[in-house]
Amino acid sequence: MRYEIKGGNLPVVECYLQAGEAMMTESGSMSWMTPNMKMETTSGGGLKKMFGRMFSGESIFQNRYTAQNGEGMIAFASSFPGSINAI
């Protein structure tokens, strides 16, 4: 996977995945994606982990995005002004 951080005060990160490569994200975090990205929603590890996320304020569900038939792109943006920094 490679990524690009774009924008100023309202940034977006675009993630480029090779065919068959996948990533897990919190539900509701995706802004846009290419048509060849497959999305699956799951509770991500059973009831114990689901309730742990619920009580910590995180989303109960997680999304798994997989690139199919070539490179795919998925973008994530914050709903708040700020910056995105690579760690």
Whether 2 shows a pLDDT value over 80: the answer reads yes
7-40 confidence digits (pLDDT tens): 888 999 999 999 999 999 887 789 999 999 999 9
Q: What is the pLDDT of residue 72?
A: 98
Residue 44 near residue 24 (C-beta atoms within 8 A): yes
What domain range includes position 44? Answer: 2-77
The answer to whether residue 29 is domain-embedded is yes
What CATH number should be reported for the domain holding residue 12?
3.60.160.10
Q: Total structural domains in the chain?
A: 1
Tens-digit pLDDT profile for residues 33-77: 999 999 998 776 667 766 766 677 666 778 999 999 999 999 999
Q: Give residue 43's pLDDT.
A: 73
Q: Is position 83 within any domain? A: no
The alpha-helical segments, DSSP class H, found in 1-87 are 46-55
Cβ atoms 67, 4 nearer than 8 A = no
In a domain, 14, yes or no: yes
Q: Is 87 within a domain?
A: no
